Chain A
Amino acid sequence: MFHINISLFSQTKALENKIDLFHDKLLDAAMTFKKAVRVYLAEQRSTEYRQLSKQIKQIEHDADNLRRDIENNLYSQNLIPDLRADVLHLVENLDKVINKFDEVSYKFYIERPEITSEYHMRINELCDLSAECAENMAKASRAFFRDLSSVRDYSQKVYFIEHESDLSAGHLREAIFDSDLPLANKLQLSDFINDIADIADIAEDFIDELLIFTIKRDI
């Protein structure tokens, strides 16, 4: 009995760590993405940008492994039967955001969009807002596991920042299409703006679901 309990507690602790680590990966991805876009705007496809893009790819790869581990543990140990489906859904959606960071940073690397300096500040601002949205989404999700009362606080932040990011993306698109850039460039930049703003949109959708799951989780 003692042995069973020790093993149960150690398995529980291990899974808690994996879930925490998974959230850390999302925060890492957000911060690295912000840095990578700044480097790209300053140096285009430099070695440093290449390194940062690889770093995001590695984070995405690690996060995928963690997600599989978490899903396997939840099923194989038959944990949280009443909330398992919700937690799996949350983990998968968190993973989607990490994938999006990887996808966008790789897209910068492959497509090498030409961005004139007049748009740098606004693109940085949009990236910061999207990354901040993802960071607060990770914090809200972490709170879902540990501290339900904080979920609402972080959720409010996500809603607010997502709205700001929408405005920022709108202004940026307007400025680009009002400019004298060739249409191909305009469309390419607009596509990038959509991709970056998508991160905030995914975070917002995630929070909508998280708030419902929080009501279910509250005893």
Chain B
Amino acid sequence: MDLTFFLFLSSGLFLGWSLGANDASNIFGTAVGTKMVKFKTAATIAAIFIIIGAVHAGSGASQTLGELGSINTLPGAFMSALAAALTIFWIVRSSIPTSTSQAIVGAIIGWNFFASKPTDLSLVTQIVSTWVFCPILSGTISVFLYWSIKKILRKSRMHLIRQDCYTRIGLILAGAFGAYALGANNIANVMGVFVPSSPLKEANLPWGFHLSSTQVLFLIGGIAIGVGVITYSQKIMNTVGNNLMKMSPLIAWVVVVSQSLVLFLFASQGLRNILLSYNLPALPLVPVSSSQAVIGAVMGIGLAKGGHSLNWTLIGKIIVSWISTPIIAAIICYISLFFLQNVFGQTVYLP
């Protein structure tokens, strides 16, 4: 392994950094924006639990991406991650709530086309259906949580000050869980494409911890996300807390828990195995968008509160992102791979 590996990995690390900078606000945005939790505390907890989630439970969603397309050279993986990052950068500028999950899937399909590898259409259908299902599920969970919390508060007659104290603790715990789920679900977006071509070896850590080569790769990706959280998420957290949607800390807790549960459901191999062992339907392990899960949860609460209409403009934008993000990422990836292969003479795929 030499420096070239890290050079090629840089696009994935950049993608991880931007994911950390953006998506940490979905977990701790309101808590920090409303000053319920200090940014330092939020960023430290988020960074630690994202890394734990990525290393401990990141393999499930990553395997699904591997089945979609096994990018077998480092330059190919580099360009796929870069194409996803560029797509995100471009689409975000038009204020469409997009996600790295959709971009990376598009980039992998772009690589498949370029390398003339077959794309499993049933898998694509399964992945796309999870994108549609993700905000709906998040909204359903948030409605259930909202009603339950409302009922509990009404029955318990808890003092406002004590409620504030529990909410504060709840926001930290939900944030930690959310960070774990984000790391577990979204590490596949950042490092998934590098798994087949990674030259990293297994590693033994102190206190008897053993990491497989994939887990070492995920640890590096998790650190990149963590750095993104610590260095660049404060501004976005303050924006989410103050401008984007005015939420009370308790509603924020409901939104974070709903979003985290959805991300966890789509990432946990353990939970999937348990469900399957009881012959229950299990969700596919697919990286999903935390931003779209948040939007789903907020809309769910809006409906539960008696909102008379859904925000169709926002729903329209999400649908546009489901279609446009993967297509744009696939096109950018295809063109970039062409240049990388023919102009820079890199091997972007092995037959």
Classify the interface of chain A: helix, strand, loop or mixed.
Answer: helix
Stretch at the interface among B158-166, B196-204, B220-228: B158-166
B154 partner, pick from A19, A80, A82, A149, beta carbons under 8 A = A149
Residue of A nearest to B36 (CB): A81
Within A1-46, the residues touching B (CB, 8 Å) are 5, 8-9, 12-13, 15-16, 19
Interface size on B, residues (CB 8 A): 22
Residues of A within 8 A of B164 (CB): 12, 79-80
Residue of B nearest to A217 (CB): B160
Contacts A8-B165, A12-B165, A219-B146 given; does A81 touch B249 at CB 8 Å: yes
- B150:A78 contact, CB within 8 angstroms: no
- B248 sits at the interface (CB 8 A): yes
Q: Considering the chains assembled together, what is the distance between the CA atoms of A19 and B160 in angstroms?
A: 10
- A15:B161 contact, CB within 8 angstroms: yes
Min Cβ gap B174→A in Å is 15
- A83:B250 contact, CB within 8 angstroms: no
Residues of B within 8 A of A81 (CB): 34-36, 249
Give 1 or 0 for each of B140-176: 1 = CB within 8 Å of chain A CB.
0000001001100110011111101100110000000
- B251 sits at the interface (CB 8 A): yes
Contacts A12-B165, A81-B35, A82-B249 given; does A144 touch B146 at CB 8 Å: no
- B165:A9 contact, CB within 8 angstroms: yes
Give 1 or 0 for each of A127-165: 1 = CB within 8 Å of chain B CB.
000000000000000001111110000000000000000
Q: Considering the chains assembled together, what is the distance between the CA atoms of A52 and B159 in angstroms?
A: 33
Min Cβ gap B234→A in Å is 17
Min Cβ gap B158→A in Å is 7
Chain B CB within 10 Å, residue with most, of A12, A87, A144: A12
A146 partner, pick from B146, B159, B251, beta carbons under 8 A = B159
Contacts A219-B146, A219-B250, A219-B251 given; does A16 touch B161 at CB 8 Å: yes
- B153:A219 contact, CB within 8 angstroms: yes
Within A59-83, the residues touching B (CB, 8 Å) are 78-83
Contacts A8-B165, A12-B165, A219-B150 given; does A78 touch B160 at CB 8 Å: no
Residue of A nearest to B153 (CB): A219
Q: Considering the chains assembled together, what is the distance between the CA atoms of A147 and B157 in angstroms?
A: 5
Min Cβ gap B150→A in Å is 6
Min Cβ gap A17→B in Å is 10
Residues of A within 8 A of B35 (CB): 78, 81
Residue of A nearest to B254 (CB): A219
Contacts A8-B165, A79-B164 given; does A145 touch B251 at CB 8 Å: no
Chain A CB within 10 Å, residue with most, of B158, B159, B250: B159
Min Cβ gap B247→A in Å is 9
Residues of B within 8 A of A80 (CB): 160-161, 164
Q: Considering the chains assembled together, what is the distance between the CA atoms of A149 and B157 in angstroms?
A: 10
Residues of A within 8 A of B146 (CB): 219
Residues of B within 8 A of A16 (CB): 159, 161-162
Q: Considering the chains assembled together, what is the distance between the CA atoms of A19 and B168 in angstroms?
A: 20
- A79:B161 contact, CB within 8 angstroms: yes
Residues of B within 8 A of A87 (CB): 160
Residues of B within 8 A of A147 (CB): 157
Min Cβ gap B176→A in Å is 12
- A83:B160 contact, CB within 8 angstroms: yes
Q: Considering the chains assembled together, what is the distance between the CA atoms of A81 and B157 in angstroms?
A: 20
Residue of B nearest to A14 (CB): B161
Residues of B within 8 A of A8 (CB): 165, 168-169
Residues of A within 8 A of B168 (CB): 8
A145 partner, pick from B160, B248, B249, beta carbons under 8 A = B160
- A82:B161 contact, CB within 8 angstroms: no
Q: Considering the chains assembled together, what is the distance between the CA atoms of A103 and B165 in angstroms?
A: 37
Q: Considering the chains assembled together, what is the distance between the CA atoms of A212 and B242 in angstroms?
A: 21
Residue of B nearest to A216 (CB): B248
B248 partner, pick from A82, A144, A149, beta carbons under 8 A = A82
Pairs of residues from A and B, 4 with the lowest C-beta to C-beta distance, nearest first: A12-B165, A145-B160, A80-B164, A147-B157
Q: List B residues at the A interface (Cβ < 8 Å).
A: 34-36, 146, 149-150, 153-154, 157-162, 164-165, 168-169, 248-251
Jot down 14 A-B pairs with beta carbons below 8 A, ordered by A.
A8-B168, A8-B169, A13-B162, A80-B160, A82-B249, A83-B160, A144-B160, A146-B159, A146-B160, A147-B157, A148-B154, A219-B150, A219-B248, A219-B251
Q: List A residues at the B interface (Cβ < 8 Å).
A: 5, 8-9, 12-13, 15-16, 19, 78-83, 87, 144-149, 217, 219
Q: Supply 16 further A-B pairs (C-beta < 8 A) apart from A81-B36, A219-B248.
A: A8-B168, A8-B169, A16-B161, A19-B161, A78-B35, A78-B36, A79-B164, A80-B161, A81-B34, A81-B249, A82-B249, A146-B157, A146-B159, A147-B157, A148-B154, A219-B146
